[in-house]
Structure 1
C-alpha cells in the first residue's frame, strides 16, 4: 500500500470540495447541521485553503486513489499559545482501520513541530478514540478539556479539546 500526501491546490478544488461535502455529511451526525437547499453542506471557509499560506491542506492517496484529506491550521486560525491544529481529518470508509489516519497525522507531526490543539465532538467516539489512542502511544504530555461547548446552527454541542506539544526531539 503506497500512501502519499499531496498539498491540495486549486487544481484539486473539485476533488477536495466533493470529499469535504461527504465529510460534512458524516459529521452532521454530531454537528446536527442541515443540508442546504442545493443538497450540499455549507463550505464557506474552503476557498481560504487555496490562498492562505497559514493553512496546510493535504490530499491523502493510496496507490494513486483518493483516500481522504487532512487539514492543518496555524495562527491566526488557532487560539493564543497554539502553533497548529489538525482542523479536519477524513479517511474514506474503505480505508478506515488500515492505519492511514495515523500515518497522515504522523506525517503532519514530523513536518510541523510545536503546540497543538485538537477539537472534536465528544459524541464522535471514533474521533475521540483515535486521538486518545494515538497520543497515548506517543511520549507527549496531554491536557484534555472535556467540558467545552460549541454553538453550531443554533445547537450547543459538547466538544473535547486536547492540547499537547510535539518537540524537535520527539521520536516519531
Structure 2
C-alpha cells in the first residue's frame, strides 16, 4: 500500500505548484462552471501568498518523492470567525485516487494543526462531499454542516460547509 507524505511548498517549487494548480482548476471547472482564459489556461488568482505568508500552510502530497497532489490550509485572517484552520483546497491526481492518499495527507495535517476546522465544497462535487463526510465520521468527530451559496463568474453555486474540531488525542494514535 502506498503511503503518502506531505512536503511544504516553498518559493523554490512554486512552478510545480502553479502548474498543478491549473489541473486542479480544470477539474474544479466541472463544479465552478468557469471557462478558460485567452491563453488556454484557467485564470488563476495570485497563489504566491501560499508560499509567502506564514499564516498559510501549503503542502505537496507525495508518494516516493513524486508529487501526486496538494493540500492547502489557511488560518486567521483567512478563515471565518471562530475557526482556526480551513482545508482550502485538496487535490490528488486521478491516477492516485481511491488509494487513501488524500486521507493520509489530511490526517497528517490534523496531527500538525489541532483546532477548529472549516471545510467548504461545491455541493455538486459529490466525491468531495462523500470523502469529507466519510473521513469525519470515521474519526467519530462531531460535525455541523451548513449549506450556502457562492457566486463565481455570474454563476450562483450551492456549497456545503463542515465545521468540526480536531484534537490530537482523538486521531494521533
Task: Identify the TM-score tier after normalising by the shorter chain.
Answer: over 0.9
Equivalent residues in 2 for 1:133-144, closer than 5 Å? 133-144=134-145
TM-score (norm 2): 0.96
Instruction: Kindly report the root-mean-square deviation, in angstroms, between the aligned alpha carbons of the 2 structures.
Output: 1.0
What CA distance in whole angstroms lies between the structure 2 residues aligned with 1:10 and 1:41? 21
Deviations 1:20-61 (A, max 9, x none): 000000000000111110111122230111210000000111
C-alpha displacement of 1:2: 4.5
Matched, 1:157 2:157: yes
TM-score (norm 1): 0.96
What CA distance in whole angstroms lies between the structure 2 residues aligned with 1:59 and 1:132? 23
Deviations 1:108-154 (A, max 9, x none): 000001100000000000000000000000121100012x1001111
Equivalent residues in 2 for 1:75-154, closer than 5 Å? 75-146=76-147, 148-154=148-154
What CA distance in whole angstroms lies between the structure 2 residues aligned with 1:157 and 1:2? 35
Number of matched pairs: 171
Structure 2: segments with no counterpart, 5+ residues: none
In structure 2, the residue matched to 1:68 is: 69
C-alpha displacement of 1:66: 1.2
Deviates further, 62-71 or 126-135: 62-71
C-alpha displacement of 1:5: 1.0
- SS, match of residue 40 in structure 1: coil
What CA distance in whole angstroms lies between the structure 2 residues aligned with 1:52 and 1:10? 11
What CA distance in whole angstroms lies between the structure 2 residues aligned with 1:171 and 1:84? 16
In structure 1, the residue matched to 2:28 is: 27
Find runs of 4+ consecutive structure 1 residues off by over 4 angstroms.
none
C-alpha displacement of 1:63: 1.4
What CA distance in whole angstroms lies between the structure 1 residues aligned with 2:5 and 2:133? 24
What CA distance in whole angstroms lies between the structure 2 residues aligned with 1:2 and 1:133? 19
Native 8 Å contact 2:3 2:104 kept in 1? no
